[in-house]
Amino acid sequence: MERVVITGIGLITPNGIGTEATWQSLLKGESGAGPITQFEITDEYPTRFACEVKNYDPAEFMPRKKLKEVARFITFSMGATKLAFQDAGLELAEAERDRAGCFIGVGLGGLENLERVKMILETKGPGKVSPYFIPSLIGNLAAGQVSIEYGLRGPSFCHTTACSSSAHSLGEAAEWIRRGKADVMVAGGAEATITPIGIAGFSAMFALSRRNDAPQAASRPWDKGRDGFVCGEGAGTLILESLSRAKRRGAKIYAEITGFGASSDAYHITKPAPDGAGAIRSMRLALEDAKLSPESIGYMNAHGTSTPAGDIEESKAVEAVFGDYAKDHKLWVSSTKSMMGHLLGAAGAVEAAVCAKAIETGAIPPTINLKDPDPECRLDYVPNQARERRLDHAMSNSFGFGGTNATLVLSRYKD
């Protein structure tokens, strides 16, 4: 089978526009959280803060006239993809385009357009609804718009698996290359749910932190005082290529995707399975796929959402898979959601990019706000300060509502 390598990364996150800006912010332990500015939020909302993307002008990444066709999540995807293409120095000959595809995972799609059009419908009638409404709303138009822009005539999929969406997109994109069905895959995720419906909906589930007086201290995975996740937004795009193609063109290689695991809890629509049973299967499948022992993994970017139940169950699952290696703090685990918030459908791609950068640089981003560890969470979570460690292999976990789980293993490229 073909080996699959990452040759380009593009990130649009609450911590920065671009991969390097995001990366440096994470290593400094900076929080991207603050009061919501995208809509007028009242005290009726239990949560009034989020991790918003700042200083982002979509016209820098796509034609201004095209902006009327797309929702915010699509502009994020287009921006991240342009940055990824630039980073990879990727050019496709006409004959290559049939074997170049695009998988962009999206959890919820264009919520803000749905809200806007509902108001237009109620106040002005159906004749005033834009013909671009449906194409701007549906999740697969992130991959669709990217495919159109870059002439990618291979497979175009949108994985909509809640918070695992873009991890599934990356894993499945890698599989297409491994099986010889594609040579290049543009893979990632995008999300933009900081809207009245989005915040109200997650608040109604008691999923969001309510630390309105201290937004930057709100996302605190594994801390005893955690009370829910912080909603984020943004996009991550990775350029995946077959190793043979990447070598032919002399591409820079960040890392190799060596393992992919997926499972279902088959338990509950929002609660994780007891003792992390689904997460355990996902991690073990990824290790088996990569042909690695648990002790080979030097760093894990955990799902780590800062929810009371989720953090405990993931920690138990990691202990079950990694045993004494994790319990003795030889495995370093951190959650970049402590800084970026939860990017939902985009989280898996952004966090896989974090693993690739950790392998490239030897720097491990911290878990901030971890002041008083939960006694049921007993791992080394790289609290509050970045560290350095040479990595040969890293793992990234993404788990979502409906019990959907995805795990990726990234490895240092060796010829």
The residues carrying an active-site annotation are 163, 303, 342
The burial class, CB within 10 Å (0-12 / 13-18 / 19+), for 250 is exposed
Between β-strands 387-388 and 363-364, what pairing exists: parallel, antiparallel or unpaired? antiparallel
Tokens matching residue 154: 């291979």
CA distance 136 to 52: 20
Bridge-partner residues for 289, per DSSP?
Answer: none
Q: Check residue 336 and report its DSSP letter.
A: T
CA distance 265 to 280: 10
CA distance 327 to 20: 33
With a CB cutoff of 8 Å and minimum separation 6, the contacts of 256 are 3, 4, 5, 6, 243, 410, 411, 412, 413
Instruction: Output b/e per residue, 37-52; b: 16+ Cβ within 10 A.
Output: ebeebeeebbbbbbbb
Task: Give SS3 for 182.
Answer: coil
CA distance 33 to 29: 12
Bridge-partner residues for 261, per DSSP?
Answer: 407
Nearest to 209 by CA among 337, 38, 109: 337
Any idea which residue has 């069905």 for tokens? 181
CB distance 349 to 406 below 8 Å: no
Nearest to 104 by CA among 79, 123, 125: 79
Q: How many CB atoms lie within 10 A of CB 259?
A: 24
CB distance 88 to 171 below 8 Å: no
CB distance 395 to 292 below 8 Å: no
CA distance 49 to 34: 5
With a CB cutoff of 8 Å and minimum separation 6, the contacts of 360 are 254, 255
CA distance 278 to 122: 44
Q: How many CB atoms lie within 10 A of CB 121?
A: 14
